[in-house]
Chains A and B, each alone.
Chain A
Amino acid sequence: MLTRRIIPCFDVDNGRVVKGVSFVELRDAGDPVELARAYEQQGADELVFLDITASSDNRSTTYDMVAATADQVFIPFTVGGGIRSALDMKVMLELGAEKVSINTSAIQTPELINEGAYRFGSQAVVVAIDARRVRGSKGQWEVFTHGGRNPTGLDAVEWAKEAATRGAGELLVTSMDTDGHQSGYDIGLLRAISDAVTVPVIASGGAGGPEHMTKALAEGHASAVLAASIFHFGTYSIREVKEHLAAAGLPIRPVPAAS
């Protein structure tokens, strides 16, 4: 049976993981490769690296990180941040990323989704959607860009449908309302999008514990859940989360035995 996926996410600046990770003894808590390997051992189903390097002059540090990760990590990983063209996509995929995630650039140039899907296959193109609930509305969300700063006027569900129609193989949906609060994902947003498209949806923003993840999967109809802090700070291990989800009746890949 196809299992739901648990995906730790890292922010990377100049090839280094930022916002410290403290769940386990690491020689170098900023080394993305060491972290990725540790999470693979713990049973992570996939990984997401979000590149927040401000200057495009420093892209080579990101390239080195992606190549080094691909050399040593044998589960899929996605790279997002700063991908603005089909050439940017090609570089990341050739370096060894399984998928690339595009957000602002997909809104500015929606044809980029079509081009990416045509050239690299839908499975390689993730469209990330940052959305905020429209005040006073019952079930409406607006898409924001630039890390949630700029409103677009786009309806999140409509944009999700368009992105999938253009060839996105997966949608990474983040609620700007719940992100960082650890009080749960926006279940209404997840469900509205997940039920409107036939591609998988990754839930993001607001994970505080396994019960939030259960809800995102069972009630939000997401195919995968993404979280950062609760894993990085050791609040919960991947194993604990997986045991909780399995006990709730969700199909989960058990943590592999240590080799």
Chain B
Amino acid sequence: MTHGPVVVIDYDAGNLRSVSRALGHVGAEPVVSADPADIDRAGALVLPGVGAAADTMAKLSERGLVEPILEYIAADRPFLGVCMGMQALLLRSEEGDTPCLGVLPGEVRRFEPSPDRKVPHMGWNTVEWLREHPVVEGVPSGSYFYFVHSYHPTVSDASLALGETEYGVRFPSVLARGHLVATQFHPEKSGELGLRIYRNFVEWARRLSTASSPVPAAT
């Protein structure tokens, strides 16, 4: 495999441009596309997302993106999901009782709102790393990231959690398995440390494609 581009999946997600800008800022020259051929040639794939689960799944399905994404992830190629792009990876979401992609074993549950625990969970909260990972290299455990969501992921396999956050409940705010990483927070809106995560992801993907390339790419 040669160095494919970083492809951001285009399905009208609200944070599509913010994610693309952050990737551009760290030098990735992202390709924004809904074309399965672009997914196929991607060196790294990014699934953004905000809003409702049912709407997200419907749009992915309408655009014929579900199968290409599942095939890409099944091949364990570098993948980053952000916010709804993380939740979509689980089996299902309580939000409208929506079946999701089912890539990871777990469900998406609603925060219980109250006047002293507001929902959406909106603002900067801390993330504790549960292990080391190339994507969070140089980012201290306990760093602050920007969250905005009313539903949170849960996983039935605790080893999937890379980062954890507390908001009434402790929930896995970063999931990682093989070459897949997903964050509940918005790295593209989390200042320098958020950009560091994008930079780490892009460099990690680049190293992986170099390592697996039969012919060394020209520099």
Contacts and interface: CB of A to CB of B under 8 A. Distances in A.
Interface of A: 1-5, 40, 45, 70-71, 74-76, 93-96, 98, 120-124, 169-170, 194-200, 221, 223-224, 253-254, 256, 259
A2 B121 contact: yes
Interface string B187-215: 01111111100000000000000000000
Interface string B99-119: 000000000000001111011
Contact of B21 (A4, A96, A195): A96
Contact of B17 (A2, A96, A221, A224): A96
Contacts of A40: 191
B49 to A, nearest CB: 10
A76 B189 contact: yes
Chain B contact patch, size range = 35 or more
B189 A121 contact: no
B115 A196 contact: yes
Given A2-B167, A221-B115, A200 B120 contact: yes
A96 B15 CA distance: 8
Contact of A75 (B21, B119, B146): B146
A187 to B, nearest CB: 16
Contacts of A256: 191-193
B35 interface: no
Given A96-B17, A98-B189, A194-B115, A3 B120 contact: no
Contacts of B14: 93, 120-121, 124
Interface in B11-38: 14, 17-18, 21-22, 25
Given A70-B17, A96-B21, A122 B188 contact: no
Given A96-B18, A121-B50, A3 B149 contact: no
Given A96-B17, A194-B115, A253-B144, A123 B189 contact: no
B123 interface: yes
Contacts, number: 103
Nearest to B84: A121
A195 B123 contact: no
Interface of B: 14, 17-18, 21-22, 25, 50-52, 113-116, 118-126, 144, 146-150, 166-167, 186, 188-195
Contacts of B144: 3, 253-254
B117 to A, nearest CB: 8
Contacts of A98: 18, 148, 189
B209 to A, nearest CB: 26
A197 B119 CA distance: 10
17 contacts: A2-B167, A3-B124, A4-B123, A74-B191, A75-B146, A75-B190, A98-B18, A98-B189, A120-B50, A121-B14, A121-B51, A121-B52, A123-B120, A197-B115, A198-B118, A221-B116, A259-B192
B191 A123 contact: no
A169 B51 contact: no
A169 B120 contact: yes
Contacts of A223: 118, 122-123
Contacts of B119: 198-199
A5 B123 contact: yes
B33 to A, nearest CB: 17
A94 B17 contact: yes
B115 A75 contact: no
